[in-house]
């Protein structure tokens, strides 16, 4: 993936994610957030304002009002009191009647190489969050730490799936 490419590999606009490039670890999971228009409005607004990341313990800088394609924020993880910078670029934003979300790809300096997507979607009154990712080892010093980074990624994913359930009291 070069800097000029803005094609989403995690396809947040699609309910059915089947195609992905070889060489990446593919992961996808959904969780039900609740029912009704209030949950839908709240969750879809939160996801487009980095709420899944910030409610999971990350900081996003600059703090943008809304996610936009081409944005290049620096996400910072805070494991064990450290600060790990994760530069990314937003490659896709979906803002539909029943599907809202975005995808970002990692940039040089990120601990892993790949893409993540956060999608809030509804069927009838049921509202869910889906998280998708494609991951492979990062470059440089991060490559040797890849096994440990997979563990950290699993912890972050659990947090992502809980991040928007707080509103529903779960």
Q: How many CB atoms lie within 10 A of CB 127?
A: 26
Going from N- to C-terminal start, the domains of the chain cover 25-168
DSSP secondary structure string, 112-150? Answer: EEEEEEEEEEEETTEEEEEEEEEEEE-STHHHHTHHHHH
pLDDT digits (tens, 9 = 90+) for 11-40: 999 999 988 888 999 999 999 999 999 999
Helical ranges in 48-137 per DSSP H: 51-54
What per-residue confidence (pLDDT) applies to 51? Answer: 93
Asked whether 88 and 71 are in contact (CB, 8 A), the reply is no
* pLDDT tens per residue across span 48-76: 999 999 999 999 998 767 899 999 998 99
CATH number, domain 25-168, options 1.10.3720.10, 3.30.530.20, 3.40.50.300, 3.90.950.10 = 3.30.530.20
Residues 71, 120: Cα–Cα separation, whole Å: 20
């Amino acid at each position: 993936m070069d800097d000029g490419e803005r094609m989403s590999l995690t396809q947040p606009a699609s309910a059915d994610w089947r195609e992905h490039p070889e060489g990446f670890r593919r992961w996808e999971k959904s969780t039900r957030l609740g029912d009704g228009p209030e949950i839908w409005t709240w969750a879809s607004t939160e996801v487009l304002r980095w709420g899944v990341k910030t409610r999971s313990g990350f900081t996003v800088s600059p703090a943008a009002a809304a996610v936009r394609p081409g944005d290049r924020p620096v996400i910072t993880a805070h494991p064990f009191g450290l600060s790990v910078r994760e530069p990314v670029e937003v490659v896709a934003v979906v803002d539909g009647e029943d599907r809202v979300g975005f995808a970002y790809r990692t940039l040089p300096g990120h601990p892993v190489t790949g893409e993540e997507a956060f999608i809030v979607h509804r069927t009838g009154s049921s509202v869910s969050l889906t998280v998708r990712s494609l991951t492979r080892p990062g470059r440089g010093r991060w490559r040797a730490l890849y096994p440990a980074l997979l563990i950290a990624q699993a912890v972050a994913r659990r947090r992502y799936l809980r991040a928007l359930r707080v509103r529903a009291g779960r």
